[in-house]
Amino acid sequence: MKKYTLLLFVALFLFSSLTKASISKKDSDLFEKAIFIGNNKDTLLYRILYPSNFDKTKTYPFILFLHGSGERGNDNIKQLFWANDVFLNEENRTKCPAIVVLPQCPEDDFWVNMDYFNNIQSKKNLYDNSLPPISHSLDLVRQLTDSLSSLSFVDKARMCITGMSMGGYGTYDFIERVPGMFSKAVPICGGSNLKMAKNFSNTVQLKIFHGESDDAVPCDLSRMMFDRLKSLKAVVDYVEYPGVNHNSWSKAYAEPNIMEWMTSTNNNPSNYTTKTDISYLLSKSDDDYKNERCRLDIYYPTNKKDFKTVVWFHGGGLEVGEKFIPSELKDKGLCVVAVNYRLSPKVHSPLYIEDGAEAIAWVFKNIENFGGDNNKIFISGHSAGGYLTLMLGLDKKYLMHFGIDANQIAGLIPLSGQTNTHYTIRKERNLNTLIPLVDQMAPLNCAREDIPPILLITGDKNKEMLARYEENAHLAVILKALGNKDVTLYELSGFDHGTMLSPSLILLNEWINKH
C-alpha cells in the first residue's frame, strides 16, 4: 500500500475524532447489533435500525450507509459516529420511516480496491475500461444487501445507498458493479472511474455532495462525475459547499428533505410536474413581441400542498437571456416559476420591470390552483434578474398596478443585482455606463421601511462586476437604517459574478427554509 494513502486515512480518522463527541450508549442501542456470515463463512459486523413502530406486514424504504475510513474497526459501533444526527432525527423517523443498515469495514480493509482508489485519488486512469476486483469487505456488503433486500418488508423500489469519503468511493463502486439494485445514491466527497458511470447512469438517481475546499478528496472528482453523468442523460444533482473542507457530510445530511428524497421512489415525474410556456399576461395584447416573451415555466411538487414558491428572473444584462429552472432549486419541495421578459433594446425601461410585475401578479392569482400558498411567494434572480427582484420588491407601484401589495412577498433574494440605476438603462439614455446614477430606476432610491425579509448575495468584491458588492452593501446599510430588521448580506469569497450563482442558490434554499 502506498504511504500517502495510509497518511490520508490516518488524517481523516483524526479529523473525525476531533470534530464530534462520542456516541452515547442510549443512541447506539437503537441500532441493533448483527453479524452477517458470507458465502465463504467470512463475517461482517453491522448495525440495523428499524422504523419506530416497525410492522413486518408493511414495506419500508431501505438505506445502506457506508462510513468513512476513520470508523473502520471491529467494535461494531464506530460506524454510527456520523449516523445519529440524520437517522435518529425524530422528524426524519416520523416522516420518513426506513430500514437503515450500517456495516463496519475492518481496520485492515477498505470499501474499495486500494490500487483503484490511488488511481482515482490522483486523477489517473479515470477512463479505465474495466473495474479491478471488488474489495473483500464491499463484497460482503453486497451479499448482505442481497440477503436483506429479499425480506418481505423491504420495498425494493425504494432502496438507497449513501456514503462519505471512503464510503463515497464505495457508493460509486457498488452501483458500478451491481447496477439496478439501488434506485437512489448519495455519494459524499468521493470519486470513481468516469468510464464506469455508464453502468449506472440510467438506473440510479444521484445527489452528489462535496466541499469546495476539500484537501483530502479533490472536489474535481465530483465535478467531473457530475459532468459525465449529465452527458449520459442521468438524473443527477450536484451540490458544492463553498469554503467547506472534507466534512461536507454534515451539511449534506442536514439538507432539507434529504431523507424524503432518499426514501422516495425513483419516479420523479410523479412528484414534480413542469408546465412550460404559459402566458402570464392578465389582459390581451396585440404586441407580438410581448406575447412571445411574456411567458413562464412552472415546476411544482404534486405530492405536497401549501408549498413555497420562488419566482425566478434570469440574468443577461436586461438584453439577453432565457428562462430556466435552476437545478439547485429542483427536488427541494419548492415550486419554481421561471420568467421571461422583454429585452432591451427592443424595449426600454420600465417595460421589462412591468413585465416582471405582471408575472408576479399571475403567480399570486394562480399559485393556489397548483397547490401552493400565496403567502409563501419569494422573488429571486441573478444579475439583471436580481435588479428586477429589487425594483419589484422595493418600488410598490409596479405590483400595485395589478392589485398586489409588494409587502405580500414572503422574501426577496437578489443575487448580484445592481442597486443603482441599471447600466443598461443608462445605455438606453446614452449615458456613461461607468458613472453611477441613482434616480427613480434605482432600487437604492426606492428603499423604504417595512420591506419583506431580504437576502442580498454577491460574489467576491475583488472578482465581481464593477462595484457590485459595494452597491449591495450600501443598500443593506440604508435598509437597516430605515428600521428593517431582516436584512442579510453575503459576500462569497473566491467567486466571481458567474460562479457565485450555484453557491448562492444553496444559501437561498437554507434561507427560504427558515422563513
Contact 36, 44 (CB under 8 A): yes
Q: Shortest CA distance to 395 belongs to which of 428, 434, 430, 421?
A: 421
Over range 134-145, report the average pLDDT: 96
pTM, two decimal places = 0.55
CA atoms lying within 13 Å on the CB side of residue 498: 1
Spatial distance between the Cα atoms of 97 and 133, rounded to a whole number of angstroms: 35
pLDDT at 120: 80
pLDDT of 514 higher than 80? yes
pLDDT 10s digits, 258-292: 999 999 876 444 467 888 889 999 999 999 999 99
Q: E strands within 21-152?
A: 32-37, 43-49, 60-66, 99-103
pLDDT at 16: 41
pLDDT 10s digits, 89-131: 888 898 899 999 999 999 999 999 887 777 787 777 777 777 8
pLDDT 10s digits, 466-486: 999 999 999 999 999 999 999
- Residue 372 bridge partners (DSSP): 307
The 3-state DSSP class for residue 361 equals helix
pLDDT, averaged across the chain: 90
pLDDT at 301: 86
Spatial distance between the Cα atoms of 277 and 279, rounded to a whole number of angstroms: 6
Task: Extract the C-alpha cell encoding 40.
Answer: 465463504
pLDDT of 21 higher than 70? no
Residue linked to cell 465463504: 40
Over range 489-504, report the average pLDDT: 94
Query: Is residue 350 exposed (0-12), middle (13-18) or buried (19+ Cβ within 10 Å)?
Result: middle
pLDDT at 24: 53
Spatial distance between the Cα atoms of 176 and 122, rounded to a whole number of angstroms: 20
In which band, very low, low, confident or very high, does the pLDDT at 305 lie, cut at 50, 70 and 90? confident
**Main-chain dihedrals φ then ψ at residue 386, nearest 5 degrees:** -70, -40
Counting other chains too, the contacts that 441-445 makes at CB distance below 8 Å and 24 or more residues apart are: 441/349, 441/350, 441/391, 443/387, 443/390, 443/391, 443/394, 443/395, 443/417, 443/418, 443/419, 443/475, 444/419, 444/420, 444/471, 444/474, 444/475, 444/478
Q: Shortest CA distance to 112 belongs to which of 39, 189, 169?
A: 169
Spatial distance between the Cα atoms of 251 and 255, rounded to a whole number of angstroms: 6
pLDDT 10s digits, 374-387: 999 999 999 999 99
Is beta strand 372-382 parallel, antiparallel or unpaired with respect to 236-241? unpaired
pLDDT at 504: 94
pLDDT of 20 higher than 90? no
Over range 17-44, report the average pLDDT: 74
pLDDT of 369 higher than 90? yes
pLDDT at 372: 95
Q: Cβ contacts of residue 421 below 8 Å, gap of 6+?
A: 436, 437, 438, 439, 441, 442
Q: Tell me: cis bond preceding 350? Omega within 30 of 0 counts.
A: yes
Over range 497-513, report the average pLDDT: 92
Q: Cβ contacts of residue 273 below 8 Å, gap of 6+?
A: 299, 300, 302
Over range 331-340, report the average pLDDT: 92
Over range 285-308, report the average pLDDT: 92
pLDDT 10s digits, 381-419: 999 999 999 999 999 999 999 999 999 999 999 999 999
Number of Cβ within a 10 Å radius of residue 304: 17
Over range 433-442, report the average pLDDT: 96
pLDDT of 302 higher than 90? no
* DSSP output for 195-242: GGGGGTTTT-EEEEEEETT-SSS-THHHHHHHHHHHHTT--EEEEEET
Stated as kind and residue range, the H or E segment containing 26 is helix 25-28
Query: Which strands sit side by side in the sheet containing 60-66, from one edge to the other?
Result: 32-37, 43-49, 99-103, 60-66, 154-164, 184-188, 205-211, 236-241
pLDDT 10s digits, 237-250: 999 998 999 999 99
Supply angle C-alpha 403, 409, 410, rounded to 5.
155
Supply angle C-alpha 89, 299, 412, rounded to 5.
75
Task: Extract the C-alpha cell encoding 263.
Answer: 426514501
pLDDT at 256: 81
Spatial distance between the Cα atoms of 320 and 313, rounded to a whole number of angstroms: 12
pLDDT 10s digits, 150-202: 899 999 889 999 999 999 999 999 999 998 899 999 999 999 989 899 999 98
pLDDT at 266: 63
pLDDT of 459 higher than 90? yes
